[in-house]
Amino acid sequence: MDTFFLIKYGEISLKGENRKVFIDRLKRNIKTRLKEFPVTITIRPGRFYLTAPEEYEESVRNTLLSTFGITGFSKALKVNKDMEFIQAAAISITKDMLEKGKGTVFKIDIRRTDKHFPYDSYGLACKLGDILRTEFPELTVNCTRPDWILNIEIRDAAYLYGDEEKGPGGLPVACAGRGLLLLSGGIDSPVAGYLMAKRGLSITALYFHTPPFTSDEVKEKVICLTQQLSRYIPRINLLIVPFTNTQLCIKEKAKQEEVTLLSRAAMMKIATMIAGDRHAGCLITGENLSQVASQTTESIRFTGSYAILPVFRPLIGFDKNEIVHIARQIGTYNTSILPFPDCCTLFAPPYPLIKPDFERMRRSFDALEMEPLLEEAAGNTELVTFTTRQTGL
Ligand code: ATP
Ligand code: MG
């Protein structure tokens, strides 16, 4: 037997002229993620209908729970617009809700887009309410505080559902271009990538690797984080940039208190060089105001000045506990806290600059004459790709 899902999308419906583009993209994203399964998706005003063989129900659910652009979805019964069928479906859903212990106080919500249907919404709700209370005497109706709602939509057919699950919201990935995510092994940058993908960006992740000062375990950790993000961001790739020569040059030639800032600036510059080749129109970082010395207004002004593209810092105003909360929700937290030191901690000066002088820092950067090193790093990135199968979907 087939299972039928009714899918709701939110903000997309506000997008005026571009609406069709957003809707097609969302459909394509769901289809791509379920490409191994024989599902069909139909677009209707304000809704998608998805049909899949029953045995794939759980895979479909998992996909819908993690596809940006979806605000909610329900497993629904689709029946003929005939009272006899509607009544049988309503009884079946009510029985199911009672068996699941959802409560005995309910209400019926009806959306009737087919104005030719012989009952109006109120009439249909009253009739079905009476039938259900006769069938299940323990039921009571409360329109303001129900335990659950029996939803009925009268459209091309009648659609009935009880439970509704929340989707992640946002906009479909790939409707807003591509961003290059500077992904370290920490807690913040995976969350930053998640939030920007939720606004419709495709993501390519970029990790600056500094062997032997950072171990292969850190690299594995970043690969693992990218894989975890791929649950939400289909086709995310990871670029690994060899950063050792740049880092050593800075360490050897720069003033100790400037080392972290110069490394960050070099990362921004290399990322900007790579962005063009990867068709990325912006950079994304996990920076968070005042979290560390390199994230004060003055520090961010300096490091950001090496990115010609816009830099999105979605976490800039978050509290750490808010970031941790999202990291736990999206499943990256436990990987992020694995205790492998990264190069930032290894090369961090004991007294970093908190309010760097912009002109002085620019001169320090120029004095290092790192251009060939930066170009070499940008040109020698290693690409790691993830297939849908690897993501466990
Ligand atoms: P995170 O938790 O994301 O590692 P953090 O709090 O440790 O952030 P920093 O180490 O100062 O902060 O890094 C600030 C941002 O710079 C990171 O969020 C990330 O976007 C970028 N970044 C830092 N180190 C690297 C790296 N090795 N590779 C890629 N991006 C990096
Ligand atoms: Mg970090």
pLDDT of residue 342: 67
Q: Which ligand is nearest to the CA of 270?
A: 1
**Phi, psi (rounded to 5 degrees) for 363:** -65, -40
Any ligand 1 atom below 6 A from CB of 286 = yes
Residue ranges of the chain assigned to CATH 3.30.2130.30: 2-166
CB within 8 Å of 264: residues ≥ 6 apart: 294, 299, 303
Q: Ligand 1, atom 4: nearest CA belongs to which residue?
A: 186
**Domain 178-384 CATH superfamily:** HUPs (3.40.50.620)
| CA 190/CA 199 separation, integer angstroms | 15
With both helix axes pointing from N to C terminus, report the angle between 244-253 and 259-277 in degrees, rounded to the nearest 10: 150
| CA 194/CA 66 separation, integer angstroms | 11
Any ligand 1 atom below 6 A from CB of 302 = no
**Which residue do the tokens 């901690």 mark?**
345
pLDDT of residue 354: 84
Q: Residue 392 pLDDT > 80, yes or no?
A: no
CB within 8 Å of 153: residues ≥ 6 apart: 6, 47, 110, 111, 112, 113, 159, 160
Q: Which atom of ligand 1 is nearest to the CA of 190?
A: 3
Q: Ligand 1, atom 7: nearest CA belongs to which residue?
A: 186
Any ligand 1 atom below 6 A from CB of 365 = no
CATH for 2-166 is: 3.30.2130.30
pLDDT digits (tens, 9 = 90+) for 37-49: 999 999 988 889 9
pLDDT digits (tens, 9 = 90+) for 56-71: 999 999 999 999 999 9
Residue ranges of the chain assigned to CATH 3.40.50.620: 178-384
pLDDT band at 267 (very low <50, low <70, confident <90, very high): very high
Residues 195-221: what's their mean pLDDT?
Answer: 95
Any ligand 1 atom below 6 A from CB of 3 = no
With both helix axes pointing from N to C terminus, report the angle between 244-253 and 371-379 in degrees, rounded to the nearest 10: 160
Q: 267 C-alpha to center of ligand 1: Å?
A: 10
Any ligand 1 atom below 6 A from CB of 179 = no
Ligand 1 pocket test: pick from 180, 181, 182 the residue with the most ligand atoms within 8 Å of its Cβ: 182
Any ligand 1 atom below 6 A from CB of 87 = no
